[in-house]
Amino acid sequence: MKHILHPLKFKPILKNKIWGGEKLIQKFNKKSDSKQLGESWEVSTVPGDISIVENGELQGKSLQELLEEHASDLLGEKNYERFGNNFPLLIKFIDAKQDLSIQLHPDDALAKKRHNSFGKTEMWYVMQADDDANLIVGFNQKTDKETYLKHLEDNTLTKILNFDSVKEGDTYFIEAGRVHAIGAGVLLAEIQQTSDVTYRVYDWDRVDDEGNERELHNDIAIDAFKFDMEDDFKIAYKKQENVSNPMVSCPFFTTNYIEINSEIVKKNDKDSFLIYMCVDGEVEVLTDNRTDRIAKGETLLIPAVIKDFKLKTKGAKLLEVYV
């Protein structure tokens, strides 16, 4: 039987990390007893971590099954032509109790060649940050391969990295090839290409419970660096209420910011699915004869075939994502 697609809420895929904490549990009500919960994967088709629907008639179905059964009705026609049965995005919430490793990701060409994977261009929206919390994005000076390798060898890499203090609402666009790290005390939403390929270049000399350092990838990472990038990674955006405010638009995804305090009518004319990440408050999504709700720290995917719906709330902030 071919089900009719409806808005899809998925069971979070929870990831313990050496640097994780408890904010995803305390602030977003994720179900875990872990003291080191680092990530909640909200929408994923990464092999081994495929999202399962937890709402409506399609409950229990995997996102991969739905892609294969519904094709362009789910993705949109142009996206289906481009990606086939591969979902192009991985959607996460991340809690860094400790600093993440300094890292970067390969672009599509390098990732395809080495890992048969998409590359990883991503963006961050800061949902909460402790006092003095920061992110590392890019370099604080003009840097080339030789300069970088000298600092890496001398264990002085942090001297040439750009540290930004952050607060709620700060937004960063991290293109493949740009060095970066999430700092301790930062809780954020992450939108990225479907890829789990990370090149770790420095991990603060950290060891696990058994005294082992995590693997570094400096031998292959050097080819992934793009040292000539502009310092255009921090995103300025408007916050006009009850409309979609552009944040990031790139070949891999578009993200808008919506701050709502009433009911608004939405029309999907994008030939794409829409993903809503609730980053504050809660909102009802009304389609045909059903209502779905998402609260802060939850995500909803609206298939491309659903063209008309309403967003209704007394107060919410959303990230609206499509390809």
- 105-109 LR contacts (CB < 8 Å, sep 24+): 105/176, 105/177, 105/195, 105/197, 105/198, 105/199, 105/224, 106/176, 106/177, 106/197, 106/199, 106/224, 107/176, 107/177, 107/224, 107/226, 108/176, 108/193
Query: Active-site positions?
Result: 200
Structure tokens at 129: 């940050």
Residue 318 burial (CB count, 10 A) = 25
Residue where the block lists tokens 């701050």: 259
Among the four given CATH numbers 3.10.50.40, 2.60.120.10, 2.30.30.30, 3.40.1280.10, the one describing domain 13-221:
2.60.120.10
Structure tokens at 304: 């491309």
Average pLDDT value for residue range 179-196: 98
Model confidence over 72-121: pLDDT tens digits?
999 999 999 999 999 999 999 999 999 999 999 999 999 999 999 999 99
| pLDDT the model gives residue 209 | 81
| pLDDT the model gives residue 141 | 96
- 220 confidence band (pLDDT: 50, 70, 90): very high
| pLDDT the model gives residue 52 | 98
The model's pTM: 0.96
Residue 4 has pLDDT above 90, yes or no: no
- 211 confidence band (pLDDT: 50, 70, 90): confident
Model confidence over 200-209: pLDDT tens digits?
999 999 988 8
Residue where the block lists tokens 């599509």: 108
Residue 302 has pLDDT above 70, yes or no: yes
Domain with CATH 2.60.120.10 in the chain: 13-221, 245-322
Residue 161 has pLDDT above 60, yes or no: yes
Q: Does residue 319 contact residue 257 with C-beta atoms inside 8 Å?
A: yes
Average pLDDT value for residue range 48-67: 97
Name the CATH architecture for the domain at 245-322: Sandwich (2.60)
- 58 confidence band (pLDDT: 50, 70, 90): very high
Percent of the chain with pLDDT over 90: 96
Q: What type of residue sits at position 38?
A: G
| pLDDT the model gives residue 2 | 52
Residue 260 has pLDDT above 90, yes or no: yes
| pLDDT the model gives residue 1 | 41
- 49 confidence band (pLDDT: 50, 70, 90): very high
